[in-house]
Amino acid sequence: MSVMESESTEPAAAEPRDFVVAEDTQPERPEWLPEKYNTGEDLAKAYKELESKLGGKEEDIRGKLLEEIQAEAFGDRPETAGDYQLPDIIDEESAVDSELLQWWSEHAFENGYGQEEFQKGIEMYAQAISGSEPDIEAESAKLGDNANDRIQAASLFANKFFPEDALPAIERMCESHEGIIALESIMEAMKDGSFANNTQATAGASEQQLREMMNDPRYWKERDPHFINEVTKGYQQIYKGS
């Protein structure tokens, strides 16, 4: 074997080996990184996956949230608007066709009112109405001990001498003790025949005109003494002529 052949067959010298292990080449683990993630990239990947899942269910989450809000807001209201219970001050038969009560029931239901709020609204309305009505007992007491007899006599007289379409005005007028007294004045004038003939405002007034005057608020609401006297004298003239 030649020298050349010997040199060509010798193995190549091995490169120097780096004895630094793979673990020493890994970056230092951040203290803030949760243990279940190896790297920050793993955490970012997991976050994106979670974000994707939540985004896909956004409508479902919104729907459930609205359901919870409605359940909380309407928790006290009944199943339907017709399930509200009327307080004792309301007559159930008359309430059936009441548009006002129907409106209040629907309004209360749409706004999630419970039974207590529904009933309170009715009671407040009833108090407001009763406050505008005359106190019949108090007005009756002003007529004295024989108030019932005086009221009954005035009622009989009105039904006998006044036309039917004028009776509502007479009834409103007689809700006060002044109205009863005014009607008694007409009754007395017709008994003794002391009819006045010189009243310019009612001279020659027809019965129809007098009925219209009785429907005037000055007669039955404001109790204008002068206006009531005109009507009284007008009827006196009519009945005197008859």
Say if residue 129's pLDDT is above 50: yes
Q: Is residue 17 part of a domain?
A: no
Q: What is the mean pLDDT of the chain?
A: 74
Residues 196/233, Cβ–Cβ less than 8 Å: yes
* Structural domains of the chain, count: 2
User: Could you give the CA distance from residue 186 to residue 240 in angstroms, rounded to a whole number?
Assistant: 12
Q: What is the pLDDT of residue 196?
A: 47
In this prediction the pTM is: 0.35
Question: 47 lies in a domain?
Answer: no
Res 117 pLDDT > 80:
yes
Output the DSSP codes for 20-74: --GGGGSPPPPTTS-TT-SSHHHHHHHHHHHHHHHHHTHHHHHHHHHHHHHHHHT
Residue 64's Cβ-count burial label (10 Å; 0-12, 13-18, 19+) is exposed
Check pLDDT > 50 for residue 60.
yes
Mark whether 144 and 214 lie in a shared domain. yes
CA angle 93–94–95, rounded 5-degree value: 90
CA atoms within 13 A on the CB side of 105: 18
Q: Is there a contact between 216 and 185 (Cβ–Cβ < 8 Å)?
A: no
Residue 71 forms part of a structural domain: no
Structural domain harbouring 177: 137-241
Mean pLDDT of 91-106: 80
User: Is 77 a residue whose pLDDT tops 70?
Assistant: yes
Interval 189-239: pLDDT, tens: 776 655 444 444 444 567 788 888 888 888 877 777 778 888 888 887 777
Give the residue, 66 or 174, on which the prediction is more confident.
Answer: 174
Give 201 or 65, the one with higher predicted confidence. Answer: 65
Q: Please tell me whether residues 116 and 190 are part of one structural domain.
A: no
Is 58 a member of any domain? no
Same domain, 93 and 178: no
The least confident of 149-153, 186-190, 212-216 is: 186-190
Residues 122 and 158 placed together within one structural domain of the fold: no
Shared domain for 145 and 197, answered yes or no, is yes
Residue 40 lies in a domain: no
Selected residue with higher pLDDT from 23 and 87 = 87
Whether residue 116 is found in the same domain as residue 142? no
Whether 210 and 162 map to the same domain: the answer is: yes
56 occurs within a structural domain: no
Task: Determine the average pLDDT of the residues in 26-42.
Answer: 71
165 and 233: one domain? Answer: yes
As a whole-number percent, the residues of the chain with pLDDT over 90 amount to 0
Among 113, 132, 151, residue at a domain's last position: 132
Do 158 and 82 lie in a common domain?
no
d(CA 146, CA 96): 40
Q: Is residue 179 situated within a structural domain?
A: yes
Residue 145 lies in a domain: yes
Tokens of 187: 């009754």
Confidence of residue 2 (pLDDT cuts 50, 70, 90): very low
